[in-house]
Chains A and B, each alone.
Chain A
Amino acid sequence: MTTATLALRDVVKRFQGVVALDGVSLEVAEGEIVGLIGPNGSGKTTLLNIASGVNRPTEGRLVVGGVDATGRRPNQVAKLGVGRTFQQIRLFDDMTVHDNVLVGAVARGEDRDHVAPLLARLNLAAVADRVAVTLSYGDQRRVEIARALAGSPRFLLLDEPAAGMNESESDALLATIQAIREEQGCAVLIVDHDLRLMMRLCDRIHVLAEGRTICEGTPDKVRADPLVIEAYLGSAGAPAEPEPAGGQAS
């Protein structure tokens, strides 16, 4: 259990003097689903960028499966078993759904046969031959997840996978992510603003505000934390859902 984690240790990230992350530590173990929430600009995407090698931490370390990956390039971090999706969908627009996922598979030396079951698992079999850009927003999000999974990652980073999805789509996404965890045993680190989804999906939730961890723990603990309520749930501009009630109902 000790090596099968993706860990960020005391990570600091400054962009030309602006502090995006200020000493954040976070660990995701295999088979675990960890949520990352926080107001806009709290450093969530920066954290995923560091975990996938897009950005290099100013201070602190990235350790993937026991290997120090600090400062490694994105393709090298991917080879250690980190797959991700993007907040702004980044599919290969002119390629078919099937080929998008196939690129994800071959990039990591997986077989072509790997693709069809994944398309079926993510409910994309019917649109496999469509050109990616013609798909609906929700379908495109699922293609991104399939593409990331095609490389058989040990750690899957999802950046706002439910953005733009309606309630039933996000419920289906929840079931899919849980099934992926069961079947592939991979760890999931997920960023999303859909708190209804996050509270039900995640084993643990990590709350960031202004680049610092303000709370970490089970959804119940996070929901009850006064700092979280003040910084996030209770602040102006927070999601208008009846948050705790919605969460308890599930």
Chain B
Amino acid sequence: MMVFAAAGQEAVQQAINALALGSTYALLALGLAMVFSVLGLVNFAHGELVAVSGYAMYLLHDAGLPFAVQVPAAIATGAIAALVMQRVVFRPLRGASFITLLISSFALSVLVQNGLRAIISPRQQGVPLPDFFNESVHLGPYVIGWLEIVTLASCVIALIVLTLFLRRSTQGLGMLAAAEDFQATRLMGISPNRVIAAAFAISGALAGLAAIFLVARRGTVDPGMGFMPLLSAFIAVVIGGLGSLSGAVVGGFVLAAIEVTLDATLPGSVQPFREAFALGIVVVILYFRPEGLLTRVSEAK
């Protein structure tokens, strides 16, 4: 009886961890998918948007400003940094090949990382967050961290707001349409520059929001902090189906579920190989659904 109760409790807590982690991945994956769907670009500098947003929090904290200021600043920094990236790097490359864009985004990623190293420090910097995030809430038999609750709630709200924007507003509908068929929307009179700028701004804001929770979990920032989240987001996008916005969100949650489950179930001796198991499962998913979970199998037209 006790064992069952403990196992059930454990499962619930793992599920909440998976949802919190998944929602962070979902934000990042959605940003990647959004830019990919309008520009055909997998932006490997997306992780650096997380990094610069994290550093914005660090600098503001250093200047003595409270968390309530750091949060909007992180989101705004992500959005602005994304707009600058698009204007300075990607816009001049409009029409360039997929490979050119890909390599350029890698170069940009390295450039930003080294910029942070040179200007601030190559070392980790502490960003203490409100104590509140270390506390837990007791709900019946469950102990749930505030960090997980706030992460999940914020990400879900962000996804709902974004969905409403995309489905209900005229600007959003244009974006959604452009994500499905960019060329067709241009032929209907929608300006590609506006759509592309909006896609970058949204992807940057989502990266900034994700950065807040990643920093909260780590308590530090460092120049390379965006790489692992980017990799996870990229895997999530591939799982969901490259170019599908809802697929990216689903992919984020699926990946997190895999990781958390492995974390909880793998014996200690094989834990170091957790990533290998996780990626192995991704390979199996893609073996059965090569175009991703949410991409329709292309019908013969």
Contact B173 A99 (CB under 8 A): yes
The B188-203 residues at the A interface (CB cut-off 8 A) are: 188-192
Interface stretch (choices A1-9, A13-21, A74-82): A74-82
Among B170, B296, B301, point to the contact of A88 (Cβ < 8 A). Answer: B301
Contact of A104 with B by CB under 8 A: yes
Q: B153 CB to closest chain A CB, in angstroms?
A: 28
Min CB distance B183 to A, Å, is 8
Q: Which of A195-212 contact B (CB under 8 A)?
A: none
What string of 1s and 0s marks CB contacts (under 8 Å) between A78-94 and chain B?
11000110101111111
Q: CA of A148 to CA of B301 in the docked complex: distance in angstroms?
A: 21
Asked if B176 contacts A104 (CB within 8 A), the reply is no
If the complex has contacts A92-B180, A103-B177, are A147 and B188 also in contact, measured as CB distance less than 8 A?
Answer: yes
| A102 contacts B by Cβ under 8 Å | yes
**Would you give the shortest CB distance from B110 to chain A, in whole angstroms?**
33
User: A107 contacts the other chain (Cβ, under 8 Å)?
Assistant: yes
Name B187's contact: one of A84, A91, A94, A106 (CB within 8 Å). Answer: A84
Which B154-209 residues sit within 8 Å CB-CB of chain A?
A: 167, 170, 173-174, 176-177, 180-181, 183-192
The one of B177, B189, B191 that contacts A92, using a Cβ cutoff of 8 Å: B177
Which residue of chain A is the closest to B195 with respect to CB atoms?
A75
Whether the pair A78, B188 counts as a contact (CB closer than 8 A) is yes
Report how far A53 CA is from B192 CA in the complex, Å. 14
In the bound complex, what is the Cα–Cα distance between A147 and B180 (angstroms)? 15
- A104 touching B188 by the CB < 8 A rule? yes
The answer on a CB contact under 8 Å between A90 and B188 is no
Is B180's CB under 8 angstroms from A94's CB? yes
Q: Number of residue pairs across A and B with beta carbons under 8 Å?
A: 72
Interface size class of A (residues with CB under 8 A): 20 to 34
User: How far apart sit A94 and B184, CA to CA, in the bound complex (Å)?
Assistant: 14
| Interface contact B176-A107, CB-CB below 8 Å | no
Whether A75 lies near B186 (C-beta < 8 A) is yes
Minimum distance in angstroms from A20 CB to a CB of chain B: 19
The reply to whether B181 and A107 form a contact with Cβ atoms under 8 Å apart is no
- Distance to closest chain B CB from A195 (angstroms): 24
A102 to B181, CA, bound (A): 15
Nearest B-chain residue to A75, judged by Cβ: B186
Interface residues of A in 141-187 (CB under 8 A from B): 147-148, 151
Give min CB distance, B170 to chain A, whole Å.
4
Q: How far is the CB of B197 from chain A (nearest CB, A)?
A: 14
Are B189 and A95 in contact, CB atoms less than 8 angstroms apart? no
A155, chain B: closest CB distance, angstroms: 13
Q: Which residues of A contact B187 (CB under 8 A)?
A: 52-54, 74-75, 78, 84
In the complex, whether A133 has a CB less than 8 A from a CB of chain B is yes
A125 CB, nearest partner CB in chain B, Å? 20
Could you tell me if A75 and B176 are in contact, using CB atoms closer than 8 angstroms?
no
Q: Once the chains bind, are B186 and A106 in contact (CB under 8 Å)?
A: no
> Which residue of A has the minimal Cβ distance to B246?
A94
- B186 interface neighbour in A73, A83, A108, Cβ under 8 Å: A73
Inter-subunit contact A133/B296 (CB<8 Å): yes
A107 and B180 in contact, given A88-B301, A99-B173 (Cβ under 8 angstroms): no
Q: Which A residues touch B177, using CB under 8 A?
A: 92, 95, 100, 103
For A91, the chain B residues whose CB sits under 8 A away are 181
The chain A residue sitting closest to B171, CB to CB, is A106
- Nearest CB on A from B300, distance (A): 12
Closest chain A residue to B167, Cβ basis: A99
**A73 contact set on B, CB distance < 8 A:** 186, 192
Task: Return B293 CB to nearest CB of chain A, in Å.
Answer: 14
Q: How far is the CA of A87 from the CA of B174 in the complex (A)?
A: 22
B185 touches A107 (CB 8 A): yes
State in angstroms the CA–CA spacing of A54 and B191 once bound together: 14
- A contact set with B: CB distance below 8 Å: 52-54, 73-75, 78-79, 83-84, 86, 88-95, 99-100, 102-104, 106-108, 112, 133, 147-148, 151
Q: Which residues of B contact A (CB under 8 A)?
A: 167, 170, 173-174, 176-177, 180-181, 183-192, 296, 301
- Pick the 8 closest A-B CB pairs, nearest first: A78-B189, A106-B170, A107-B188, A92-B180, A103-B177, A74-B186, A90-B184, A107-B189
> 17 A-B pairs, CB-CB below 8 angstroms?
A54-B183, A75-B189, A86-B184, A92-B176, A92-B180, A94-B180, A95-B180, A99-B167, A99-B176, A103-B173, A103-B174, A103-B176, A103-B185, A103-B188, A106-B173, A107-B174, A112-B170
